[in-house]
Amino acid sequence: MEATLYLVQEGERRRAPVTQYEIVKSLFLADVAHLERYGRPITFDNYAALEFGPVPEAAYDMLKPNYNPNHYFADEAWPPWRREHAHNRAYFYRGPRRDPNLRVLSKTDTAALSAALDEVKSLRFGGVVDKTHRNPAYTEAWNSRGEKGSAPMNYARVMSEPDEELAADLAEASRYA
């Protein structure tokens, strides 16, 4: 939640509102970069391979208009942002109702999120698809999905140097994130 709010707020600060696509791809790129550099992702979300690339499952669900926040965010006004139609099936996420809790996000987290948003905004849709489709975890999951529209991604394959032990630890931690 806090990483998503940070990206929505960052889009407002830049006067360049973020779409659902830009949010989920920024989260993926930031998680991978932070995992590579510091040994942990930012969100601890579980990723799935979908047609247009990796998607953080919990964050993706939160961005949907029919999301039910009662289980996790019962005390919070929902949604914590405005969702405005941009074009086609895309929506802008703007006007966060509160600031992200920076006690939850470290300086390295926010730096990775900002850098990922820069990259997503500069690469645009096609460039982001190309980049994320080259990730080994995405390729492996997408190619093994069969007739399904998505498949879970293996954290060990997300990293440039696969680490099964770290991936198992992260999978366990993500159950409680």
DSSP string, the chain: -HHHHHHHHHHHHTT-PEEHHHHHHHHHHHHHHHHHHHSS-SS-PPEEEETTEEEEHHHHHHTSTT--TTTT-TTS-SSSSEEEEEETTEEEEE--SS---TTTS-HHHHHHHHHHHHHHHHHHHHHHHHHHHTSHHHHHHHHT-TTSS-EEPPHHHHSSS--HHHHHHHHHHHT--
Given a cut of 70, whether residue 2 has pLDDT beyond it is yes
Given a cut of 90, whether residue 159 has pLDDT beyond it is no
| Residue 176 pLDDT | 67
Task: At 105, list the tokens.
Answer: 């996000």
For helices 107-133 and 20-38, the axis angle rounded to 10 degrees is: 110
| Residue 119 pLDDT | 98
Given a cut of 70, whether residue 177 has pLDDT beyond it is no
> How far separated are the first and last CA of the chain, in Å rounded?
10
| Residue 166 pLDDT | 85
Residue 176 φ then ψ, to 5°:
-110, 0
pLDDT, one tens digit per residue, over 5-57 is 999 999 999 999 999 999 999 999 999 999 999 989 999 999 999 999 999 99
Task: At 112, list the tokens.
Answer: 């990775």
| Residue 125 pLDDT | 93
- Residue 83 CA to residue 64 CA, distance in Å, equals 9
Cα 167 to the chain's mean position, in Å? 17
| β-strand partners of 48 | 55, 152
Average pLDDT, the chain: 92
Task: At 74, list the tokens.
Answer: 């019962």
Given a cut of 80, whether residue 75 has pLDDT beyond it is no
- Residue 160 CA to residue 156 CA, distance in Å, equals 9
Total length of the chain? 177
Q: Using 50, 70 and 90 to split pLDDT, how confident is the model at 71? A: low
| Residue 10 pLDDT | 97
pLDDT, one tens digit per residue, over 5-14 is 999 999 999 9
| β-strand partners of 113 | none
